[in-house]
Amino acid sequence: MPLPTNHKSDRQPWREHAARAVARPFFATLALLTRLLPRTLTEKLATRASRAVFTLFPGVRAGLLSNAGKILGPGASRADRKALALSVLASFARFLTELVAGPGQGPQQDLHQDTVGRDHFEEAAAARKGVISVTLHMGNYELSSMELAWLRPNVTIVYNRERIAFLERLRSRRRQEKRLDEIVIDDSRFFGIELLRRLRDGGVILLAGDQVAARDGEHFAFLHGTAPFSSWPARLALASGAPIVPAFNVRAADGRYRLHLEPPIFPKEGQQPNDLMAEVVRVFERYVRDHASQWLMIRPYWIE
Kindly report, residue by residue over 191-203, the tens digit of the pLDDT: 889 999 999 999 9
Q: Where are the domains positioned within the chain?
A: 14-100, 115-291
pLDDT of residue 83: 96
- Nearest one of 261, 291, 255 to 107, comparing CA atoms: 255
Average pLDDT, the chain: 85
CB-CB neighbours of 271 under 10 Å: 14
Please say whether the beta carbons of 224 and 74 come within 8 A: yes
> What mean pLDDT comes out for the span 172-189?
84
Q: State yes or no: pLDDT of 10 exceeds 50.
A: no
Q: What tens digit of pLDDT does each residue of 60-81 get? A: 899 999 999 999 999 999 999 9
Q: State yes or no: pLDDT of 159 exceeds 60.
A: yes
CA pair distance 242, 36, nearest whole angstrom: 44
